[in-house]
């Protein structure tokens, strides 16, 4: 679900069910960032954010979906919005999960906190036992 204040006439949803879907998601985000005129640095930031989120959905949430859209805000700025949803166990302590170094797996623990630093807007909606949705937006400077 994308924020109501954004217009996104062409949102697309991609399944995140298999390892191959992670690469497909990255390619889709890069294609949208290129089409929107993002610099190579900004493309890399939003693709890296997408990669972290879909990997989390796949590994920790058992799979899910990624919705991607080129969006505009009320001031006319262009951005790339991602909403990654899973139906996994949810996150019991969001503050702890956002802390660098925290990991429930074999990773370095930079996923959610690192993703937050790569984007301009970051929201997380999670309920233990019901899943997690993370929505991010990276605005074109």
**What confidence score (pLDDT) does residue 101 get?**
56
Domain that holds residue 88: 7-139
Q: b vs e for 18-43, b when ≥16 Cβ sit within 10 Å of the residue's Cβ? A: eeebbeebbebbbebbeebebeeebb
What total of structural domains would you count in the chain? 1
**The sheet that has 121-127: what strands, in order across it?**
12-16, 64-72, 78-86, 131-139, 121-127
**pLDDT 10s digits, 79-102:** 999 999 998 998 877 777 666 655
Distance, CA of 27 to CA of 10 (rounded, Å): 17
What CATH number did the domain enclosing 87 receive? 3.30.565.10
pLDDT at 112: 85
Residue 140 has pLDDT above 50, yes or no: yes
What percent of the chain has a predicted confidence (pLDDT) above 90?
63
Look at residue 130 and tell me if it is in a domain: yes
Give percent of the chain with pLDDT exceeding 70: 83
Is pLDDT at 1 greater than 90 in this prediction?
A: no
pLDDT at 107: 46
Question: 13 or 96, which is more confident?
Answer: 13
Domain membership of residue 103 (yes or no) is yes
Query: Is residue 2 in some structural domain?
Result: no
Per-residue pLDDT, averaged over 8-30, amounts to: 91
pLDDT at 8: 55
Which has the higher per-residue pLDDT, 41 or 75?
Answer: 41
Give a yes or no: residue 70 inside a domain: yes
């Amino acid at each position: 679900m994308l924020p109501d204040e954004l217009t996104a006439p062409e949102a697309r949803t991609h399944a995140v069910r298999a390892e191959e879907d992670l690469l497909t998601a990255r390619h889709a985000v890069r294609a949208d960032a290129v089409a929107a005129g993002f610099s190579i640095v900004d493309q890399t930031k939003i693709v890296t954010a997408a990669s972290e989120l879909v990997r989390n959905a796949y590994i920790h949430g058992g799979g899910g979906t990624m919705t991607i859209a080129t969006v505009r805000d009320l001031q006319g700025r262009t951005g790339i919005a991602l909403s990654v949803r899973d139906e996994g166990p949810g996150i019991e302590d969001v503050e702890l999960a956002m802390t660098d170094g925290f990991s429930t797996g074999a990773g370095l623990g930079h996923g959610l906190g690192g993703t937050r630093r790569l984007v301009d807007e970051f929201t997380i909606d999670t309920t233990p036992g019901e899943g997690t949705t993370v929505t991010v937006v990276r605005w074109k400077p």
